[in-house]
Amino acid sequence: MKLKFVLAAALLAVGLSASAQTIIKFSHVVAADTPKGKAAEFFAKKAAELTKGKVKVEVYANSSLYKDGEEMSSLQLGSVQMLAPSLAKFGPLGVKEFEAFDFPFMFDNYTELHNITQGPVGAALLAKLEPKGIKGLAYWDNGFKSFSANTPLKTVADYKGKKFRIQSSKVLDEEIRAVGGIPQVMAFSEVYQALQTGVVDGTENPISNFYTQKMYEVQKHLSLTNHGYLGYAVIVNKKFWDGLPADIRGELEEAMKEATVYANKIAQEENDKALESVRKSGKTEVYTPTNEERMALKKAMAPVHIKMADRVGKDTLQQFYKATGFDPSKL
Ligand code: LMR
């Protein structure tokens, strides 16, 4: 009798502690083997460690839970707790200032980028998400985008009349139009098939995405244009986050801090490795534009900075220019 009671009490305790475990669903659209995918796994491991199992982060890679275009509203509704959308995905949410990250040739390197993402301008941008029920926790790097197509992309004229898949950003739409291309907004998970079937001719992405989505199978030419940046903000449902016990939230903040250091450390390495793998595949011809060709692209895209200034706000843009040294009047 006594033993039965002890057993029942033990089972109840196990049940209670199991039900007290907090589950965080972390959804993202890229492969597990990318800077974002690896950093998400790192965070999940650290979160379990630091909270001693009180929090379980379930990572859903490759749009297996939500596609881009669906994930933001799902986070706001609370059906997923954590995401790391690319910065281009915040414009459609109504926080257009984020599209400053999409401006062509805005950043020459990660140092210029970090002047924004690791400083007060980046923090102020994340704070703008709060009225939308979203809390921004960190910026995670990916890298610089390159263009691909089935025909060579050397001169600006090579882009003319070609359909390029873009993320849903008005700045990216203008960027493609500036070189005479036709922008086509599309979910990331649909790009491979669209390239394969010829729905679009080409695309832009960091090489880590180009490689892990196997785009090299369906694109004959990759031009290392490094014409724009693509990276992420890690975000959570604000109500969920604020409702966590303070000690748990603190432990998760620490896990996120460590995951961010890791993410930003591996971003360049992962893109370098991916480029090596693309070359090795032998399926895509990798072209490095000459300085003149790259400058011609930069010049052709410069009007985007003037045309889109009001959209992102002149103040935001000035802050970006100050941090990056980009001067559109010099083109
Ligand atoms: C894209 O849609 O091209 C990117 O946002 C994918 C990603 O998350 O890196």
Q: Is the CB of 209 under 6 A from ligand 1?
A: yes
- Span 241-259, pLDDT tens digits: 999 999 999 999 999 999 9
- Span 196-215, pLDDT tens digits: 999 999 999 999 999 999 99
pLDDT band, residue 11 (cuts 50/70/90): very low
- Span 107-163, pLDDT tens digits: 999 999 999 999 999 999 999 999 999 999 999 999 999 999 999 999 999 999 999
Q: Ligand 1 mean position to 84 CA, how many Å?
A: 10
Task: Work out the burial of residue 173: count CB atoms within 10 Å of its CB; fewer than 13 is exposed, 13-18 middle, 19 or more buried.
Answer: buried
Chain position carrying tokens 């991916």: 274
Q: Ligand 1 mean position to 188 CA, how many Å?
A: 6
Q: Is the CB of 29 under 6 A from ligand 1?
A: yes
Is the pLDDT reported for residue 9 higher than 70?
A: no
Q: Is the CB of 55 under 6 A from ligand 1?
A: no
Q: Is the CB of 167 under 6 A from ligand 1?
A: yes
pTM exceeds 0.85 for this model: yes
Chain position carrying tokens 């890690």: 234
Q: Which residues contact 322 (CB under 8 A, 6 or more apart)?
A: none
Is the pLDDT reported for residue 173 higher than 90?
A: yes
Which of 64, 33, 36 minimizes the C-alpha distance to 212? 33
Measured from the Cα of 187, ligand 1's closest atom is 2
Q: Ligand 1 mean position to 11 CA, how many Å?
A: 45
Q: What is the pLDDT of residue 266?
A: 98
Q: What share of the chain is helix, strand, coil (3-state, %, to 5)?
A: 55, 15, 30
DSSP states along 108-169: SSHHHHHHHHTSHHHHHHHHTTGGGTEEEEEEEEEEE-EEEESS---SGGGGTT-EEEE-S-
Closest residue CA from atom 2 of ligand 1? 188
Q: What is the pLDDT of residue 180?
A: 98
Give the β-pairing of 22-27 and 82-83. Answer: parallel
Closest residue CA from atom 5 of ligand 1? 86
Which of 117, 175, 130 minimizes the C-alpha distance to 319? 117
Q: What is the pLDDT of residue 16?
A: 45
